[in-house]
Amino acid sequence: MSKIGKKSIELLATKVEIKGNELLINGPKAKFTHVLPVELVARQDDGFLFIELQNSKRSNSAIWGLHRALVANKVFGARQLFEKKVKIVGLGYKAQLSGKKMIFSLGYSHKINYTLPDAVELDVDRSGQNLVFKSSDKHLLGDVCDTVRKFRLPEPYKGTGIIVEGEVIIRKAGKAKSGS
């Protein structure tokens, strides 16, 4: 049995309409639709949403937990925005925002242009090194942060590059001096 699949999803300010295996999720920040597999059924009760398994086969347990987590993320995203912080570390490394277009100066011979998707918002501080990405879609937010991180991957010797908050960079020792 799935431990995650058994958990209920609190709706709060989000409205969910169940049409067969399709869930229509509507909140103050966004609208989503999610189609459940045939093995799963959704039930709403007293401000909570339950995803239930129709038959308890072991192979369906993973699907159950996965779809419960996906629905929970959509319910949360419809209510409020997900947020990821990204830090640019390095001398002269920075990002600028003009409309939906980002311009990165990352030590290359050229600047990198990147256009943000419509569902993603960005806050950049004055230094251009602290970025806060916000979106109601958790999956899209992760994809955007990963794409931005790939412009200058974290370097293990100096620790420079683009680092997503919570990421651990294992630092390596530089060249050792010879003792002769």
User: Does residue 90 sit within a domain?
Assistant: yes
- Amino acid sitting at position 15: K
Predicted local confidence at residue 180, as pLDDT: 58
For residue 9, give every residue at least 6 positions away whose Cβ sits within 8 Å of its Cβ, in sequence order, or none. Answer: 48, 49, 50, 51, 68, 71, 72, 75
Predicted local confidence at residue 62, as pLDDT: 80
Q: Which residues pair with 88 in a beta bridge?
A: 162
Domain end among 18, 45, 79? 79
Domain end among 62, 79, 96? 79
Predicted local confidence at residue 114, as pLDDT: 97
The reply to whether 48 and 110 lie within a common domain is no
User: Does residue 151 sit within a domain?
Assistant: yes
Query: Cα separation of 158 and 167, whole Å?
Result: 16
Q: What is the pTM of this model?
A: 0.87
User: Does residue 19 sit within a domain?
Assistant: yes
**Burial state string for 105-137 with b = 16 or more CB within 10 A and e = fewer than 16:** bbeeeeeeeeebeeebebebeeebbebebbbbb
The reply to whether 112 and 55 lie within a common domain is no
3-state SS class at 67: helix
* Residue 62 lies in domain: 3-79
Domain end among 79, 106, 134? 79
Predicted local confidence at residue 174, as pLDDT: 83
Ordered per-residue pLDDT tens for the chain, 180 residues: 678 888 999 998 899 999 989 999 999 999 999 999 998 999 999 989 999 888 776 677 788 999 999 999 999 999 999 999 999 999 999 999 999 999 999 999 999 999 999 999 999 999 999 999 999 999 999 999 999 999 999 999 998 999 999 999 899 988 877 665
The reply to whether 47 and 73 lie within a common domain is yes
CATH number at residue 37: 3.90.930.12
User: Does residue 178 sit within a domain?
Assistant: no
Predicted local confidence at residue 179, as pLDDT: 63
Counted domains in the chain: 2
The reply to whether 123 and 142 lie within a common domain is yes
The reply to whether 53 and 73 lie within a common domain is yes
The reply to whether 93 and 150 lie within a common domain is yes
